């Protein structure tokens, strides 16, 4: 099979953190209708993701984000790799970030039925490997929400 090319950077990131990024992105999309994070810094000890939001979320909303991510993790969802044609992938995944020269076959990562996303990175096999998600801080400035988080095993 042809090696799929995607525009996401070559992620050799800590798989539990990177998989959490997928879950957090989906949670933010569901709760706020915002795009997935386009600016993320994922590291083993702590990570950060930026989201475009029209207004500053309340402390309760931030707590709800943390709870929702932990709920998904606690379901011990299987993380699966699916190769599928671009047309098929477009039905379940936002491909607007995909470059023009991306291959016709895409690598789609599914976290249970919670999230689906085109990604070439490394992930855990099950969310049971992630531990507990903890938001360290959230800072809102000029339409940008920065969430810093860590995992507690
Ligand atoms: Zn990924």
* Short-list 131, 135, 91, CA closest to 110: 91
Distance 62 CA to ligand 1 centre (A): 23
Distance 5 CA to ligand 1 centre (A): 13
Distance 9 CA to ligand 1 centre (A): 10
Tens place of pLDDT per residue across the chain (153 aa): 445 555 455 456 899 999 999 999 999 999 999 999 989 999 999 999 999 999 999 999 999 999 999 999 999 999 999 999 999 999 999 888 787 788 889 999 999 999 999 998 999 999 999 999 999 999 999 999 999 999 998
Spatial separation of the C-alpha atoms in residues 138 and 50, rounded to whole Å:
10
Distance 22 CA to ligand 1 centre (A): 6
Give the per-residue pLDDT at 6: 52
* Short-list 56, 55, 53, 59, CA closest to 38: 53
Distances (CA, A) of 135 to 66, 74, 114, 139: 6, 16, 20, 11
Distance 2 CA to ligand 1 centre (A): 19
* Short-list 94, 119, 97, CA closest to 22: 119
Q: How many residues does the chain have?
A: 153
Distance 18 CA to ligand 1 centre (A): 6
Give the per-residue pLDDT at 103: 84
Q: Which residue has the tokens 């249970």?
A: 112
Q: How many CB atoms lie within 10 A of CB 71?
A: 13
Whether the CB-CB separation of 91 and 106 falls below 8 Å is answered with no
pTM above 0.85, yes or no: yes
Give the per-residue pLDDT at 149: 98
Spatial separation of the C-alpha atoms in residues 130 and 109, rounded to whole Å:
16
């Amino acid at each position: 099979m042809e090696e799929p090319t995607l525009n996401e950077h070559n992620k050799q990131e800590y798989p539990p953190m990177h998989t959490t990024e997928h879950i957090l992105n989906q949670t933010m999309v569901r709760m706020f209708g915002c795009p997935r994070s386009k600016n993320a810094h994922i590291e083993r000890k702590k990570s950060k993701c930026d989201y475009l939001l029209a207004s500053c979320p309340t402390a309760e909303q931030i707590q709800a984000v943390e709870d929702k991510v932990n709920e998904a993790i606690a379901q011990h969802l299987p993380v699966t790799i699916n190769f599928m044609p671009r047309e098929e992938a477009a039905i379940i995944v936002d491909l607007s970030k995909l470059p023009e020269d991306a291959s016709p076959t895409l690598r789609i990562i599914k976290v249970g039925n919670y999230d689906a996303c085109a990604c070439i990175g490394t992930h855990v096999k099950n969310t049971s490997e992630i531990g507990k998600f903890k938001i360290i801080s959230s800072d809102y400035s000029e339409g940008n929400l920065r969430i810093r988080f860590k995992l507690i095993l």
